[in-house]
Structure 1
Amino acid sequence: MTEPLLDELDRRILDCLVEDATRSHKEIGQLVHLTGQAVGARIRKLEESGIVEGYTIRYRPERLGKPVHALVTVFMHPASSHASFQRFVAEDDRVAETVRVSGEGCYWLRVHAGTHDELNAFLDELLKYGNYRCSLSIGRIK
């Protein structure tokens, strides 16, 4: 599949969305010197081409009672089903992000828990699928 070509205006609009996806089309238009309507049309094209998949927010789980932030590398047991593991992490609210990787491990997980006991319970459940290496976050940079 060939990558769609973006012109400089599309790239600037995309940069504006990455920086703050809540900006109005009019506000982005002022930044890139287009009308809000023209920005809206370009954003729709970015969405239709699959370059923009959706919009999200950043939040602070510790302010919601989940101060324990762990980064977990999962090493699947050879006999474990990847499909059942993927269902497990998709359905578990403690898992904020799952990435399938090559190299070191099979998956990387971002896990938020309210307590260390809650994290330990999650890690115990994880042992059904494989071994893991867990690192606790001590601060977010970016």
Structure 2
Amino acid sequence: MEEIKLDAIDTRILNELTVDARIPFSRLAKKLKVSNTLVHQRIKKLYDSGILKNATIQLDTWKLGYKTSAFTQIMLDNSKLHTKVEAQLAKIPEIVECVNIAGRYAILVKIFAKDNRHLRDIIYEKIQVIEGVEGTNTTMSFETAFVRPVPIQV
């Protein structure tokens, strides 16, 4: 995959959008001391290049009733099954992130559950029954200290 070169304006736009993805283009242009047209063109370029994927919101999972979060490592019978297993994991709505990892376990998922019993049910009744899953190892998360975007530099 080709690395895309960013200039100072692209970098400033991305940094502003990581703080507030809903900022109006006109306010962003004023803040950066550039034209609205330039902001529109640059953001379109950033979407077209794949750097910007979407503008999203951050939910408070606790207030939505998800009191338990965990990271579950998944061991496979055969590492070549990861694509099929990942497709099945994608059908489980409580799994919010799924990554391929190196080592004894092949997949790491982040799960949000209503409570510990709900988490147990997700692991035993939804994950461990997937064909190709040999075992799991789960680590409970007490709280998230911070989440931040990657550094954006010219």
Calculate the TM-score normalised by the size of structure 2.
Answer: 0.83
Q: Which has the higher contact order (CA 8 A, sep 6+)?
A: 2
Counterpart in the other structure of 1:50: 50
Q: How many residues align?
A: 142
Please list, as runs of the form range in 1=range in 2, the aligned pairs for 1:1-142 lying within 5 A after superposition: 1-78=1-78, 81-103=81-103, 105-124=105-124, 125-128=126-129, 129-142=133-146
Tell me, which stretches of 5 or more residues in structure 2 are unaligned? Answer: 147-154
Amino acid at match of 2:72: V
Matched-pair contact (CA < 8 Å) for 1:80–1:130: no
Provide the C-alpha distance between the structure 2 equivalents of 1:10 and 1:79, rounded to a whole number of angstroms.
39
Tell whether the 8 Å contact from 2:73 to 2:109 is kept in structure 1 after alignment. Answer: yes
Q: How far apart, CA to CA, are the structure 2 residues paired with 1:56 and 1:95?
A: 18
Residue identity in the other structure for 1:63: K
Provide the secondary structure at the position in 1 that maps to 2:87.
helix
State the Cα deviation string for residues 93-138 of structure 1 (Å, max 9, x = none): 1111111122352111110111211111111132231311111111
Quote the Cα distance in structure 2 between the aligned partners of 1:50 and 1:80. 28
Alignment TM-score, normalising by the size of structure 1: 0.90
CA RMSD of aligned residues (A): 1.8
